[in-house]
Amino acid sequence: MHKVSKPFAFSKMKDAEQFAREMHAAGLPFPVSSDMSILGEPVRLGAKTIPNRICLQPLEGFDGTKEGAPSDLIFRRYDRYARGGAGLIWYESITVADDGRCNPLQMIIKKSTIKEIRRLVEETDRTAYEAFGRKPYNVLQLTHSGRRSVDANWKSTPLAVVANPYIDHHNSIDGQSGKITIASDEKIEQIIREFIEAAVLSVEAGFDSVDIKVCHEYILRELLAAFNRPGKFGGSFENRTRALFDIIDGVRARVGDAIDICVRLNAYDCIPYPHGWGMVKEEGVMAPDVSEPIRLCQMLVERDVKLINLSTMMPRYQPYGRGYLAELEEDAEIQPYKGTYELLKATRQIKEAVPEGIFVCTGLTWLEQFGGNVGAGGVRDGWFDIAGFGRQAFAYPDFARDILIRNVMEREKCCMTCDKCYDLIQKGHTVTGCVMRDQEVYLPLYRKHVQKREVEAVR
């Protein structure tokens, strides 16, 4: 098994100044601010306003219904988020097609599920109004899982766009690799239509914006790295970005400005060229080159797609050394703080090159109780515009309230980056959440499905 290296004793650091000194001494000069009040400032986005600069990033609980609608656990999660105070809620990934699920309980946006998805948005907004007198800015992330797809029994059913020797043997979230199908141009065109139809339904569901997901290992991201694919969706930059822009243009043609469009985009892939996006164009070289991501972001902003959430395969991976491959190798050591710093640094580079964009960063959960300080420092210093938190919201759904009202993140509430939420998915094939901070719901599931212990049924 790979090892995640955690050399820093955050529990013993008394304040943000000490954190900044120790990180700088370790060669990780994160932007840090003791005063987090800047995160309370609103952000204007066209005719709409994001109430503050804290984003809850898309994070699935693997807990929808079999039909693809939100379950009681999903309603519970977003109620907690609404009470927490974040100004931007980036709703978890919802697939545009039945064959595009990454787990058997992923939500699907279609006519039969739209009523319940709309109810989810309405109830979340109502809770936020009751707590804060305003609603959050709501983004729905649309996806097709591509090579991460599985069937109703968790069997891997990967749909790829090009062969990739680095990851072809590791496709689904739990590490399986079924027989890979290479998508034809006709299949990609079908998926483009499905994204457009899903965006139209997103208007009906009441979202402020729809995210055309271009990150992690999913199909639109893979197209960005399809250097070796022949035909209209591979090879040149224009071809590799064709599907994304066809979707954007198609949505605008159908609904005009009835809904905003945004993207969550890999800044780089941590997989060498010609199989990775945003990497130096020298075969086998593991090093980032954000020139193409900058070019893409410039084109997005020109099309009025200004809200861009930058990510990578996962923030823990560095775009150097073994990169993403460390996840798949025995005895590899992953240094997540270096990976997080490199991603924030790339975000700064892209933001500086595309100042008109409104950029959300990724990876702050790894910094535990100092994540808000780095978020505030990054906004203050122009690295990004909005501080993004993923797993932190599972563990500590009201962290935004504590930042905005008390200028603090309480360590004893923070995500411990223990990966037990991933174990529930990968080893347990069950719904997921924070085992350590939300024990009433998730600890019995962990004991039953991961540890294989007999426990009382979860109520």
Instruction: Give residue-wise pLDDT tens across range 238-253.
Output: 999 999 999 999 999 9
28: helix, coil or strand?
coil
Q: Which whole number is the average pLDDT over 37-42?
A: 98
Specify the pLDDT at position 269: 97
Specify the pLDDT at position 329: 82
Q: How far is CA 443 from the centre of its chain?
A: 24
pLDDT higher than 70, residue 1: no
Least confident of 61-70, 326-335, 393-402, 412-421: 326-335
Which structure tokens are listed for 181?
Answer: 């199908």
Distance CA 90, CA 78 (A): 11
pLDDT higher than 60, residue 456: no
Q: Which whole number is the average pLDDT over 300-311?
A: 98
Distance CA 419, CA 436 (A): 10
Distance CA 73, CA 100 (A): 22
Q: What is the pLDDT of residues 374-423, one digit of tens each?
A: 999 999 999 999 999 999 999 999 999 999 999 999 999 999 999 999 99
Specify the pLDDT at position 458: 45
Identify the structural domains of the chain with CATH numbers, from first to last: 3-420 (3.20.20.70), 421-459 (no CATH)
Q: Which whole number is the average pLDDT over 444-459?
A: 79
Q: What is the pTM of this model?
A: 0.97
Q: How confident is the model at residue 455 (pLDDT cuts 50, 70, 90)?
A: low
Of 236, 247, 117, residue with least CA distance to 193: 247
Mean pLDDT, all residues of the chain: 96
